[in-house]
Structure 1
Amino acid sequence: MIKVERLSFSFPQKELYNNISFTLEEAQHCAFIGTSGSGKSTLIDILMDPESYLFDGKLEMDPGCTIGYVSQFSELDNTKETTVFEYIAEPFIKIQNEIQSICTEMETSSDIEPLLEKYQSALDAFDAMGGEDYESNIHKQLNLANLMKRRDLNVSDLSGGEFKLVQVMKEMLNRPDLMIMDEPDVFLDFENLNALKKLINAYKGMLLVVTHNRYLLNHCFNKILHLENMEIQEFDGRYIEYNFSLLQTKIELQEIAVAEHEEIERNENIVKNLRVIATYNSEASRGRALKARVRFQERLEARRIKAPFVEIKQPNISFGTGNEIDNEDTIVVNVNQYSVVFDELLLDKVSFEIKSTDKVAIIGSNGTGKTTLLREIYTNNQDSIAINANAKMAYLSQLQGEMLTNSNTILEEFIDAGFSTYDEAREHLANYGFEGEIVNQKIESLSGGEKNILQLAKVSAGQANVLLLDEPTSHLDTYAQIALENAIQAYKGAILMISHDFYSVVNGMDYVLIIGDKKIKKMTMSKFKKMIYESHFDKDYLDTEQKKKAVEMQIELALKETNFELAKGLIDELEGLIKLL
């Protein structure tokens, strides 16, 4: 077990944690969630290397505790000419070679005792890793992730998503006491995401996973750690049950808050009357009554419910109207006989068109040329790509440094983007959660999620009528993802979006363009859903998920109207749908 008690930590410019406590226990699969910039990655760094951080509080961990780690920013080493099997087996082969070396040394050494100790220590380490069966265990993992066909390929020949899965396998097979993964799902296509789900669910050890992916959250974890506003909350159970618990709490707290507000208003009126009386009646008893009422008022204010995990502010994402092109049949992007070639042909003479109000997702496996296509539509330097003269495009890149200057402060970035005054830039940035001194921070100091929200703020500021979005939900917390979906639904212009986030595609797009066999074909949303159902979801899963979302929206509306009886009735309906999921 790993135990954290009353831990506090801050950077010079930002306090991250205030007396947070939690435990991680054997075999728990824990999802670590929280809004962007709340300090999840820093807390992981503290767990991995506590000696490097000056924090208050206690961190209890066995001195021999081993930690495996998969970073969110893992880069493929293209210079390494080693096969996938050799890469995963590297720790096992290393100990095997060490054992062989000790045996060779023992054949000629006169002092054998220390060598026997080294030999036994190496054998114990090999055994602890399950070394005796490592080849069959590697094959099991490769089969589970549908990557057995990649076994003898060089690591450098893998796509980014495949390499991420291989990294996960390698760390899992080392059998650490605690396995930590920081957003392992980022940029994974549907097939690889499903493989990651299988790897997580088959893992027998203790897991701590930072993720905002709703598919993984709903299917992989039995404990939730939620970090917000310097506080942490533990929940034993599934993410879907945690959200249900939050909604129940929200109804209770709002009902209490309304009652408290009414009580405070009544008391304020009494205080006002007593003050009026006190101006022309100087009796001591009147003064005492006034003081008693003021103290009572202070106590009421002090016990107002504070719920940092219930009322989490979503960024106010808006892309404007996007309707400068009045005719919805106007073609704004025309791709005709377009091809992409790198080491091999990725797209072969593909053609499609986007109209002025179309919202379209490009779907395809990692490494099929999607990003190159989107970037070349934006740069508009290809003879095979024609852009309407009235189209005003904005681009969000999955390579955040492509559209953001890391050496800029947030404020400088938006002055460079065209805002005429600092006040205008500050007002715009406040809608996206960048307020106060944070606007003077360098962009390079921001988390991946904060950088993506900043990109969305730049896209919004452009007032474009054609949006090109490359993995816009990557690194975004679930609250920002929902805000983005709402902004997409409200937008009247054209959107061409690369995404592996099933929920964003289904909730916001009109149709999809599927890449397969170097071609692109148009697919209706109903056919796309059916295809994904068959590969990734249980029967009727998404329909139930959509009904659940509709009931949750009805509850939110009931709360806005302070109709608590209706909200409580809908909660019962919601609970029934959650049982089906």
Structure 2
Amino acid sequence: MIKVDNLSFSFPQKELYKNISFTLEEAQHCAFIGTSGNGKSTLIDILMDPERYLFEGKLEIDPTCRIGHVSQFPQFDKTKETTVYEYLGEEYFKIQNEITAICTEMETSSDIEPLLEKYQFALDALDSIGGEDFESNISKKLNLANLMKLKDLKVSDLSGGEFKLIQVMKEMLSRPDLMIMDEPDVFLDFENLNGLKNLINSHKGMLLVVTHNRYLLNHCFNKIIHLEITEIQEFEGRYIDYNFSLLQTKVELQELKIAEDEELERNENIIANLRVIATYNSEASRGKALKARVKFQERLEARRIKAPFVDIKQPNISFGMDTEMEDTTVVQVDHYSAAFEELLLDNVSFEIKSADKVAIIGSNGTGKTTLLRDIFKNNHESIKINDDAKVAYLSQNQGEVLKESNTILEEFIDAGFKTYDEVRSFIASYGFEGEIVNQRISSLSGGEKNMLQLAKAAASKANVLLLDEPTSHLDIYSQIALEKAIADYKGAILMISHDFYSVVNGMDYVLIIEDKTIRKMSIRKFRQMIYASHFDKDYLEKEQNKRSIEMKIEVALKNNEFELAKVWVDELEALIKLL
């Protein structure tokens, strides 16, 4: 229903796509992935409204194709008084009222023909969204997402995560031929994330979903579209199989590349020798041999393997500290309470030691961000911060930490860097190189902004990190780099997260918010709780084992041990079949 053929598009400062092609067909649930800032959201905008963009190539959209859209940050008019049920059924009730009005008018009108036409048009519109089954379909969607309890609540009383899910349901209820969603998982707690998974898997139409969420990627999609460095790659199948295919290709390409490099080096040596000979032997045949060798070398360089999808540069996140603290309490919370229109947390107490890595877990709207922000501000009578603690904060409201009107260079000068060259050297390892450093922060993607926040936290050399949803908007490569940085960090971390991979892979224990209070839970018990609701037995252990084997393959490739890498690839393939 949608065909993109050799499409190219550039902004003045950046080329986004170069002759990209892909198709979207009926019944495909497609994940749209790629590193942050490569243009996924812009491509969605082009699909939604191609007339706004001057692109080269062809974009063919079936004229009968109706497109639904859930934006990255859906907004609701808070002044509008409506319940969740009324909001979900808005289009249905509007058509029903229109039909009633037409019928009333027909009772007294002498010119019935145009009214019959309007009546049929309204009936067709009603039929296109499910007709008389619409009200029961609302209940089915709410049950799928386990949100029936919200049915009679006002939309204005919902948390951000709950509203995001309601927005997804509303678009699905309109039954578009293609539904496009841009990071619908951001900031969803795990219960709501599971609800989103159920909604996606039950949806009968085409889906194109921008997501970096490993849980959704592993459980929801039958096609992958991967955008990297102006190029696109399509894959029919599961994300886990796509990832394995990339790894296999990487092993093959790197082995081939080593052979190519050796051939290039041999040829360079021959050219160097011929140049030396040419300095004291001017025979024409010597010059021809040299030219032939140089042309051969150019051909070798031209066919050198370029693989943007298997050689993605992972950012190098590293949290160091100016002062490493001895085993002591760095954050003390005693009898803390918080309210926002209603009581969120009541009489909460806990402490964080200098090397603790702790996740705060809880449903959307339970006061996690309020608590973390109060710890950072350190002006609440129930919170004490150790005098030797140097605290860095990453906010899910990125404007709290980043000045949107600054360029990237200006932001780090404001943070204490002395020169632009010093800034450039530091932020290069976080993926910010070239002209992007002169862009205003307001123009960056959500993932790029979060990566900037992580870079600022790293630059501060803090010994206490307060991280509010640090993996949100981050691409998978950056998420894994962050997990490694957390594992290597020697200081204390208090992290709000709904990404159970990050929690299980990096935290010592969790603090769970339930019934306006907090209780401590071991990672082992947290896993058991997750298993009981959402996973097959031993799923996370298999996932961790998978990651361990992938790292062994990476090490083997670094050492050019290709036969060993192939052995690990075979073991990984067997494990993936179990997942």
- How far, CA to CA, are the matches of 2:113 and 2:357 in structure 1? 72
Aligned counterpart, 2:131? 131
- How far, CA to CA, are the matches of 1:440 and 1:295 in structure 2? 39
Aligned counterpart in structure 1 of residue 497 of structure 2, from 499, 505, 510: 499
Note if 1:161 corresponds to 2:161: yes
| Superposition deviation, residue 280 in structure 1 | 2.6
Aligned counterpart, 1:338? 336
Q: Deviations over 1:190-246 (max 9, x none)?
A: 100000000000001000000000000000000001111011111101100110010
- How far, CA to CA, are the matches of 1:109 and 1:119 in structure 2? 14
- How far, CA to CA, are the matches of 1:436 and 1:174 in structure 2? 44
- How far, CA to CA, are the matches of 2:482 and 2:75 in structure 1? 28
- How far, CA to CA, are the matches of 1:270 and 1:379 in structure 2? 66
Aligned counterpart in structure 2 of residue 419 of structure 1, from 417, 420, 438: 417
| Superposition deviation, residue 279 in structure 1 | 2.6
Contact residue 324 and residue 490 of structure 2 kept, 8 A: no
Contact residue 2 and residue 24 of structure 1 kept, 8 A: yes
| Superposition deviation, residue 64 in structure 1 | 3.0
Tell me the SS of whatever aligns to 1:10.
strand
| Superposition deviation, residue 294 in structure 1 | 1.4
- How far, CA to CA, are the matches of 2:24 and 2:331 in structure 1? 51
Contact residue 76 and residue 160 of structure 1 kept, 8 A: no
Aligned counterpart, 1:220? 220
Amino acid at match of 1:512: V
- How far, CA to CA, are the matches of 2:443 and 2:276 in structure 1? 55
Tell me the SS of whatever aligns to 2:267.
helix
- Show the 5 A alignment for 1:65-76: 65-76=65-76
Amino acid at match of 1:283: E
Aligned counterpart, 2:9? 9
- How far, CA to CA, are the matches of 1:297 and 1:413 in structure 2? 44
Q: Deviations over 1:76-98 (max 9, x none)?
A: 43322211111101111111111
Note if 1:379 corresponds to 2:377: yes
- Tell me which moved more, 287-296 or 536-545: 287-296
Tell me the SS of whatever aligns to 1:431.
helix
- How far, CA to CA, are the matches of 1:311 and 1:84 in structure 2? 46
Contact residue 323 and residue 493 of structure 1 kept, 8 A: no
- How far, CA to CA, are the matches of 2:377 and 2:76 in structure 1? 27
What runs of 5+ residues in structure 1 fail to find an aligned partner? none
Amino acid at match of 1:70: V
Q: Deviations over 1:506-564 (max 9, x none)?
A: 11111100111111111111001111111121111111111110100000000000010
Q: Deviations over 1:259-316 (max 9, x none)?
A: 0111111112222222222233333222222221111111111110000111111111
- Show the 5 A alignment for 1:450-465: 450-465=448-463
| Superposition deviation, residue 19 in structure 1 | 0.8
- Tell me which moved more, 471-480 or 105-114: 105-114
Contact residue 30 and residue 222 of structure 2 kept, 8 A: yes
Amino acid at match of 1:362: I
Aligned counterpart in structure 1 of residue 539 of structure 2, from 532, 538, 541: 541
- How far, CA to CA, are the matches of 1:77 and 1:184 in structure 2? 19
Aligned counterpart, 2:188? 188
- Tell me which moved more, 108-117 or 412-421: 108-117
- Tell me which moved more, 113-122 or 490-499: 113-122
Amino acid at match of 2:559: E
Aligned residue pairs total 579
- How far, CA to CA, are the matches of 1:33 and 1:223 in structure 2? 11
| Superposition deviation, residue 453 in structure 1 | 0.6
| Superposition deviation, residue 108 in structure 1 | 1.9
- Tell me which moved more, 278-287 or 138-147: 278-287
Contact residue 473 and residue 481 of structure 1 kept, 8 A: yes
Aligned counterpart, 2:431? 433
- Show the 5 A alignment for 1:133-532: 133-321=133-321, 323-325=323-325, 327-328=326-327, 330-532=328-530
Tell me the SS of whatever aligns to 1:187.
coil
Contact residue 322 and residue 492 of structure 1 kept, 8 A: no
Tell me the SS of whatever aligns to 1:383.
coil
| Superposition deviation, residue 179 in structure 1 | 0.3
Aligned counterpart, 1:563? 561
Amino acid at match of 1:226: H
Identity of aligned residues (%): 79
CA RMSD across the alignment = 1.1
Aligned counterpart, 1:116? 116
Amino acid at match of 2:263: E
| Superposition deviation, residue 323 in structure 1 | 4.9
Amino acid at match of 2:290: L
- How far, CA to CA, are the matches of 1:436 and 1:296 in structure 2? 32
- How far, CA to CA, are the matches of 1:557 and 1:321 in structure 2? 28
- Tell me which moved more, 396-405 or 424-433: 424-433
Contact residue 10 and residue 16 of structure 1 kept, 8 A: yes
- How far, CA to CA, are the matches of 1:224 and 1:420 in structure 2? 44
- Tell me which moved more, 67-76 or 255-264: 67-76
Amino acid at match of 1:458: K
Tell me the SS of whatever aligns to 2:430.
coil
Tell me the SS of whatever aligns to 2:117.
helix
Q: TM-score, normalised by structure 1?
A: 0.98
